Amino acid sequence: MQALRLIGWVAVTAVFVMFMSINYTRPVPVRFWPMPGDTLLVEWPVAVIALVFFLLGFVPTWLMHRAVGWRLKRRITLLETTARNHAMAAATPPIPPATVPGDSTPAHPPYPRADDHQPVAGAPVPKDDILK
């Protein structure tokens, strides 16, 4: 796959170099029309004009793409860390209830076990329970 990508970039570069060499013969006047008179008259080769305007469109789009990718990587890292912390918290055994000396009943009711599925009123239903 890397070779196909390299071949593609070589082809694009070759086409761009041919375009630059063919159109680099004589300068073309570019007049920016909102300005009065010939104050903003620039004479550049066509290839340079094409490159400048290509970059004016490409660079902001590329920067936006990079920013979105960076933001998504940060979000993925945060979600992975949160999932890892929740998995570690669920893997630790609960603390056994304290008992009063000489009494066989615990001081407070025991914690529910992880496999004890008793629904709580108003709680969201897990996806696994919906399918059963």
Domain boundary assignment for the chain: 1-91
pLDDT of residue 101: 64
| Count of CB atoms situated within 10 Å of the CB of 113 | 8
Low-confidence ranges of the chain (pLDDT < 50): none
- Could you tell me the pTM of the whole model? 0.50
Tell me the CB-side half-sphere exposure of residue 89, using CA atoms within 13 A: 6
Contact 25, 47 (CB under 8 A): no
pLDDT digits (tens, 9 = 90+) for 76-114: 999 999 999 888 887 777 776 666 566 666 555 556 665
pLDDT of residue 74: 96
